[in-house]
Amino acid sequence: MLNMNQIDTASSAWVNTDEKIRKVGDEQHPAYIIETPYFQYNGDGIDLRVYPQLDGRIKLTDNAMTAFELKFLNLKVGHDSQLDLHIKQIISGTSVKIGTDGELYCLVSHIADVSHAKHELMQVVLAVGGLGPI
């Protein structure tokens, strides 16, 4: 039987081990990758990326990966009105936006808002990615 100390250690180890944030890119093209502890339905890890914008804001994005994965479930973002409506409902009330190719992203003006934006984006990515049959 697990005791609480084991559960605390296991859960913090999992979070500390499996989320990695790496700085990549060069001075001209800086970027960060967030390797999250979460997975697509096919076992592939979910990554988010962070890019600076020309207007000084920060963009957190799934790089349209969620929309790409939905194709394997025969769901095509932008070509299926019911799917698009579901996605619209999911992102409604959040700071997440959807691009023309299905990219899910947030734009942040202050560094202090990055954490919350990441949380919202992750929630949306998981919800949209879960729209297919399980």
Partner 1 sequence: MKLVHDNLTQAQVEWILRVQKSFVDPKQVDYIFERIKHQGFTRMTLDADVTGVGSDNQLIVEFFRQRDAKELRPKYTISLRFKTYGLQLLRLDIGGRHKNPDERNVRTYNHIHLYGPGKKHDLRARKLTVNEQQRIGSPEDTFIDFLKQTNIDIRRNYFAKHESN
Residue 34 binding partner 1, by CB under 8 A: no
Residue 68 binding partner 1, by CB under 8 A: yes
Residue 92 binding partner 1, by CB under 8 A: no
Q: Is 108:120 a contact under the CB 8 Å cutoff?
A: no
* Separation between Cα atoms, residue 99 and residue 49, nearest integer Å: 15
Measured between alpha carbons, how far is residue 85 from residues 91, 94, 116, 131 in Å? Answer: 10, 15, 24, 12
Residue 60 binding partner 1, by CB under 8 A: no
Nearer to partner 1, 5 or 17 (CB): 17
Residue 30 binding partner 1, by CB under 8 A: yes
92-116 as b/e, with b when 16 or more CB fall inside 10 Å? Answer: eebbbebeeebbbbbbbeeeeeeee
Q: Which of 3, 5, 17, 92 binds partner 1 (CB under 8 A)?
A: 17
Binding site residues, partner 1, CB under 8 A: 17-18, 24-26, 28-31, 33, 35, 37, 39, 41-45, 47, 49, 51, 63-65, 68, 71-75, 101, 103
